[in-house]
């Protein structure tokens, strides 16, 4: 049920605003539970101390940003907040954290390992064991903050310029909202709707190039998860004019590109710059590679498909009278479609090697220096469901829940999306009034904190809304 469901052609994307997701075969009582759960999440999210707490958490994280694989203080902060809520957690690809909230309070997840062959005296059947995964990334960037915020980064040269501090706060907020619903008694979420259901909260390190998502999936903790998540959900703040604060955007199919960073080494034979015929010129060969790989996009990719090939650095030689032995080029490759992405990686190697052959140089192309991120492909039904949830949280008026276009940046949430039917979403955060207009990764980036409560509610609503419908499928 994984990859075969990734249908990029989301037939009715444009009409979706009028479409209520068909909850086929389900009793209307589960739909009523869905409505009650969403209404109470929305209500709890509007309590003023809830928002203050989110801002407190986010500001602490903003002041203490940590780079990929070093999010230690961040992780210990998260653990303390989870403990306050009585939520159990385990390390997964440290400093990654996998926390879980069993809706029936029956936490048997650390029982006798895998298998377990079910049965026993429990009334929970395999059938109603259902889990949802909510994910936040937690790393900062090697950027020196240029804002005047009173809680600006205290860690020189590091900044939460991608807003992952807000992502963590929103997921912690979701944990709190879920606990509140569970503690509110049966009339919101009846006992039988809780049995066997689990929400996993995943706090992921190293999104900014370290493929933390992939490492978490490979960790023993995640491999041993007792219930395979039926769906995964993530939010990214989106500080661009098309998604103002107060809006939510997503789409079925590809939402973010695949990205690979490559390095090309061209080896010729150096010598005196005045006698090129005795040498093999790596500079000329490298220059031809720069121009020839442009044809991958301009002549070999359909105009309806999307690929970017950029050579970003070219280094060769030291002085003007010596022809160097070697030229080194680096760049980035992006594509929205998984097949095109794989093809473009192969084509880049093929073209570079062919140019090398024609010019008598050895050429080596490597994608190893950084992790390759596949395109992030949203499951069409998960995206529809996310919009249904978002309409309850962000509002049903026009402009609140948007169908967005795909973008060329990449995200390692794609690894989860390859594993479970998933949805990556934008939480609009462009706000002219407070100067939240700078792009992600900018040293001037400002996160609009007013979005946090809706983000927390969207996370919680997606998880409990899905579980209330009592099916492993949408």
Tell me the closest approach of the beta carbon of residue 236 to Zn ion, in angstroms.
6
Count the site residues for Zn ion by CB under 5 A.
1
Considering beta carbons, is residue 10 or 429 the nearer one to Zn ion? 429
Binding mask 383-412 for Zn ion (x = CB under 5 A): ------------------------------
- The distance of closest approach from Cβ of residue 161 to Zn ion in the complex, given in angstroms and rounded to an integer, is 7
Cβ distance to Zn ion smaller for residue 328 or 370: 370
Q: What does the H/E/C string look like for the chain?
A: CCHHHCCCCCCCHHHHHHCCCCCCCCCHHHHHHHHHHHHHHHHHHCCHHHHHHHHHHHHHHHHCCCCCCCCHHHHHHHHHHHHHCCCEEEECCCCCEEEEEECCCCCCCCCCCCCCCCCCCCCCCHHHCEEEEEEEECCCECCCCCCCCCCCCCCCCCECCCCHHHHHHHHHHHHHHHHHHHHCCCCCCCHHHHCCEEEEEEEECCCCCCCHHHHHHHCHHHHCCCCCEEEEEEEEEECCCCCECCCEEECCEEEECEEEEEEEEEECECEECCCHHHCECHHHHHHHHHHHCHHHHHCCCCCCCCEEEEEEEEEECCCCCEECCEEEEEEEEEECCHHHHHHHHHHHHHHHHHHHHHCCCEEEEECCCCCCECCEEECHHHHHHHHHHHHHHHCCCCCCEEECCCECCCCCHHHHHHHCCEEEEEEECEEHHHCECCCCCCCCCCCCHHHHHHHHHHHHHHHHHHHHCCCCCC
Q: Which is nearer to Zn ion, 207 or 281 (CB)?
A: 207
Interface stretch with Zn ion, choices 162-170, 281-289, 414-422, 456-464 (CB under 5 A)? 162-170
CB of 332 to Zn ion, least distance (A): 14
Q: How far is the CB of 368 from Zn ion (least distance, A)?
A: 21
Which residue, 137 or 347, is less far from Zn ion as judged by CB? 137
Which segment (18-26, 155-163, 191-199, 456-464) binds Zn ion by CB under 5 A? Answer: 155-163
Contact window for Zn ion (CB under 5 A) among 35-43, 75-83, 160-168, 360-368:
160-168
Would you give the distance in Å from CA 308 to the centre of its chain? 20
> Measured between alpha carbons, how far is 193 from 242 in angstroms, rounded to an integer?
38
Residue listed under structure tokens 């980036």: 445
CB of 163 to Zn ion, least distance (A): 7
- Shortest Cβ distance from residue 386 to Zn ion (Å)? 18
Which one of 2-10, 161-169, 340-348, 360-368 is the stretch in contact with Zn ion (CB under 5 A)?
A: 161-169
Chosen residue from 162, 189, 377, 457 binding Zn ion by CB under 5 A? 162
Distances (CA, A) of 210 to 196, 221, 266: 34, 19, 27
Q: How far is the CB of 330 from Zn ion (least distance, A)?
A: 19
CB of 305 to Zn ion, least distance (A): 25
Q: Which residue's CB is nearer to Zn ion, number 130 or number 168?
A: 168
Minimal distance, residue 424 CB to Zn ion, in Å: 11
133 vs 287, beta carbon nearer Zn ion? 133
With respect to Zn ion, which residue has the nearer C-beta, 162 or 227? 162
Subset of 102-141 contacting Zn ion (CB under 5 A): none
Shortest Cβ 202–Zn ion spacing (Å): 15
Residue nearest to Zn ion (CB): 162
Min separation Cβ 67 and Zn ion, Å: 12
The region of 35-43, 144-152, 158-166, 292-300 touching Zn ion under the rule CB under 5 A is 158-166
The answer for residues whose C-beta is within 8 angstroms of residue 65's C-beta and 6 or more apart is 140, 141, 153, 155, 158, 159, 160, 165
Looking at beta carbons only, is 236 or 388 nearer to Zn ion? 236
**Nearest distance in Å: CB 139, Zn ion:** 9
Could you say whether residue 256 binds Zn ion (CB under 5 A)? Answer: no
Of 154-162, 181-189, 416-424, 426-434, the segment contacting Zn ion by CB under 5 A is 154-162
Q: CB-wise, 162 or 189, nearer to Zn ion?
A: 162
Give the C-alpha separation, 140 to 73, whole Å: 12
Stretch that binds Zn ion, among 107-115, 157-165, 252-260, 445-453 (CB under 5 A): 157-165
The token pair at 154 is 């205290």
In b/e form, how buried is each residue of 88-104, taking b as 16+ CB within 10 angstroms?
A: ebbebbebbbbbbbbbb
Considering beta carbons, is residue 34 or 445 the nearer one to Zn ion?
Answer: 445
| 162 vs 437 by CB, closer to Zn ion | 162
Question: Which is closer to Zn ion, CB of 99 or CB of 235?
Answer: 235
Site residues (vs Zn ion, CB under 5 A): 162
């Amino acid at each position: 049920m994984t990859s075969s469901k990734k249908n990029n052609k989301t037939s009715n994307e444009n009409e979706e605003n009028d479409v209520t997701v068909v909850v086929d075969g389900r009793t209307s009582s589960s739909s009523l539970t869905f409505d009650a759960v969403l209404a109470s999440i929305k209500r709890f999210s509007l309590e003023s101390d809830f928002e203050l707490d989110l801002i407190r958490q986010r500001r602490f994280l903003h002041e203490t940003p940590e780079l990929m694989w070093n999010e230690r203080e961040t992780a210990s902060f998260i653990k303390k907040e989870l403990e306050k809520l009585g939520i159990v957690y385990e390390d997964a690809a440290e400093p990654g954290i996998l926390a879980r909230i069993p809706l029936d309070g029956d936490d048997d997840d650390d029982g006798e390992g895998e298998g377990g062959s079910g049965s026993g005296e429990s009334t929970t059947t395999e059938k109603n064991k259902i889990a949802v995964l909510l994910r936040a990334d937690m790393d900062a960037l090697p950027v020196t903050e240029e804002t005047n915020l009173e809680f600006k980064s205290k860690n020189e040269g590091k900044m939460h310029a991608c807003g992952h501090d807000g992502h963590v706060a929103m997921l912690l907020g979701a944990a709190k909202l879920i606990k509140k619903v569970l503690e509110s008694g049966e009339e919101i979420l009846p006992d039988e709707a809780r049995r066997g259901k689990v929400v996993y909260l995943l706090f992921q390190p190293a999104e900014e190039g370290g493929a933390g998502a992939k490492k978490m999936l490979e960790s023993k903790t995640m491999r041993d998860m007792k219930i395979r998540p039926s769906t995964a959900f993530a939010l990214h703040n989106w500080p661009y004019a098309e998604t103002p604060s107060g809006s939510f955007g997503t789409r079925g199919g590809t939402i973010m590109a695949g990205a690979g960073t490559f390095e090309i080494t061209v080896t010729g034979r150096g010598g005196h710059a005045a006698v090129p015929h005795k040498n093999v010129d790596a500079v000329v060969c490298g220059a031809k590679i720069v121009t020839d790989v442009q044809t991958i996009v301009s002549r070999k990719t359909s105009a309806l498909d999307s690929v970017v090939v950029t050579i970003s650095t070219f280094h060769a030689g030291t002085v003007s009278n010596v022809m160097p032995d070697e030229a080194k080029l680096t760049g980035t490759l992006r594509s929205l479609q998984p097949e095109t992405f794989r093809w473009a990686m192969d084509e880049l190697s093929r073209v570079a090697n062919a140019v090398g052959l024609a010019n008598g140089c050895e050429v080596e192309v490597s994608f190893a220096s950084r992790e390759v991120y596949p395109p992030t492909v949203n499951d069409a039904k998960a995206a529809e469901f996310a919009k249904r949830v978002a309409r309850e949280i962000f509002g049903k008026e026009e402009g609140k829940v948007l169908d967005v276009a795909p973008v060329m940046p990449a995200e390692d949430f794609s690894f989860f999306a390859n594993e479970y039917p998933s949805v990556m979403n934008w939480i609009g955060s462009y706000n002219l009034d407070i100067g939240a207009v700078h792009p992600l990764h900018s040293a001037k980036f400002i996160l609009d904190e007013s979005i946090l409560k809706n983000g927390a509610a969207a996370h919680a609503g997606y998880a409990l809304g899905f579980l209330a419908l009592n099916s492993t499928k949408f």
